[in-house]
Structures are given as C-alpha cells and as structure tokens.
C-alpha cells in the first residue's frame, strides 16, 4: 500500500550497450533520498520493466 501522497518515478539507467547500470540507478535513488523524497517507483517511467530480466529486477530491488 502506498502511504505517501507524492511518488517519484525513477528512470532506470543503462549503459550504451543497453545493459543495466545498477550503480547509476541506485545513485540516482540515493540522490533523491538526500533531497527528502519519501517514495520512489522503480521501472515505471518508460516501460523498461519489460526489457529487464528477472535477475536484473531482483538486483535493483535487493539494494
């Protein structure tokens, strides 16, 4: 259940070869946290959830 009134959609970072940039994505989320953003939504900006493997999705969620 979402408790916050505002949710920030976080774009997933990719390298030029289209592989997942896990560190870049996590750093962006940490930057938002430093700006006091209380709620972020992963994989929700451009439908990238369909292009990520289950392993990649899991690696983002476990950070």
3-state secondary structure labels for all residues of 11-61: CCCECCCCCECHHHHHHHHHHHHHCCCCCEECCCCCCHHHCCCHHHHHHHH
Which pTM does this prediction carry?
A: 0.77
Average pLDDT, the chain: 86
Short-list 1, 15, 2, 7, CA closest to 41: 7
In a domain, 20, yes or no: yes
Q: Which domain holds residue 39?
A: 8-61
CB 21, CB 61: distance < 8 Å: no
Give the three-state DSSP class for 3: coil
Structural domain includes residue 3: no
| pLDDT band at residue 7 under the 50/70/90 scheme | confident
| Residue 26 domain-assigned (yes or no) | yes
Percentage of the residues of the chain whose pLDDT score is greater than 70: 92
Could you tell me if residue 25 is inside a domain?
yes
Could you give the number of structural domains in the chain?
1
Residue 1 lies in a domain: no
**Is it the case that residue 8 has pLDDT exceeding 70?**
yes
């Amino acid at each position: 259940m979402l408790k916050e009134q505002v949710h920030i959609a976080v774009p997933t970072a990719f390298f030029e070869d289209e592989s997942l940039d896990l560190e870049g994505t996590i750093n962006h989320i940490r930057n938002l946290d430093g700006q006091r953003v209380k709620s972020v939504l992963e994989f929700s900006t451009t439908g990238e959830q369909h292009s990520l493997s289950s392993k990649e999705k899991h690696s983002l969620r476990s950070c």
